[in-house]
Amino acid sequence: MKILIIEDDTIISKNISEVLTAESHNTECVYDGLLAERILKKNNFDCIVMDINLPGKNGFDLCKDFRQYNMNTPVIMLTAFGELEDKVQGFDCGADDYLTKPFYMRELILRVNSLTKRLKQNNSITTEVPILIADDITLNDAQKKVFRQGKEISLTPREYQILLRLMENKGEIVSKSDLVKEIWGSSFNANTNTIEVYVSFLRNKLDKPFAKNTIKTKVGYGYYLDVK
């Protein structure tokens, strides 16, 4: 797997590169947000480890712009701050995971391996791509586009994947643990709060602007689409 490390602290960058190389990953390091942006547009990677506080262009803006043309490559954000608001902003920009410094390198390895494994599994699936419809929501999985009442809804990759799972199981409850397993992989230890944050984002984009309450919570069980 080819991993891009975007981190302006040369010591941390070197340490991350060494441990990932020891896990048989190929790594490339870059220390500036603007330079990273140019590299991302020219090259393909299997995973990106990205610091938030970068010179030139910060990680939030870099990730958000990256998601305009790449919805699939996993992004793990690193930051020295542990505030919930920073995590929420990171997820909203399209990050898949979030680690607060200082962190254990073994934890980073597990996150990288889990996300890249999941990406590989998704890329190996060759089944027919459907167009799913639930109430006035249309999901075109070939184009990775979602519409409600004819209006396109812009979703981050994880928001899209959650909606896809809910629409595939229309009207049936999908547990939080199943969402973690299906989207992040079985070895990924995402807590339930992460899922709750994403579902909240999804509701704000898919339900709230249309005065709808389609995404429902079954307390103690999970989520489902309340559609006719």
Give me the pLDDT at residue 1, please: 86
Strands 131-134 and 137-140: antiparallel
Tens digits of residue pLDDT in 45-97: 999 999 999 999 999 999 988 988 788 899 999 987 666 676 778 788 888 88
pLDDT at 3 over 80: yes
Q: Please say whether the beta carbons of 159 and 202 come within 8 A.
A: yes
Share of the chain above pLDDT 70, in %: 89
More confident residue, 203 or 134: 203
Dihedral, CA atoms, 183, 149, 142, 59, nearest 10 degrees?
Answer: -50
- Is the confidence at residue 117, as pLDDT, over 90? no
Tell me the C-alpha distance between 145 and 187, whole Å. 28
How far apart CA 62 and CA 75 sit, in angstroms, is: 11
Q: What percent of the chain has pLDDT over 90?
A: 49
Residue 11 CB contacts under 8 Å (≥ 6 apart), including other chains: none
pLDDT at 188 over 70: no
Residue 228: its pLDDT value, please? 64
Q: Which domains does the chain have, with CATH numbers?
A: 2-124 (3.40.50.2300), 131-225 (1.10.10.10)
Burial 70-109 (b: 16+ CB within 10 A, else e): beebbbbbbbeeeeeebbebbbbbbbbbbeeeeeeeeebb
Q: How confident is the model at residue 125 (pLDDT cuts 50, 70, 90)?
A: very low
Higher pLDDT, 126 or 41: 41
Does the model's pTM come out above 0.85?
no
The one-letter amino acid code at 155 reads L
Per the model's pLDDT, the better-predicted residue between 76 and 1 turns out to be 76
Which tokens hold the place of 21?
């190389």
Query: 139-162: per-residue pLDDT in tens?
Result: 988 888 899 988 999 998 889 999
Asked if pLDDT for residue 189 goes beyond 80, the answer is no
Distance of alpha carbon 102 from the chain centroid: 22
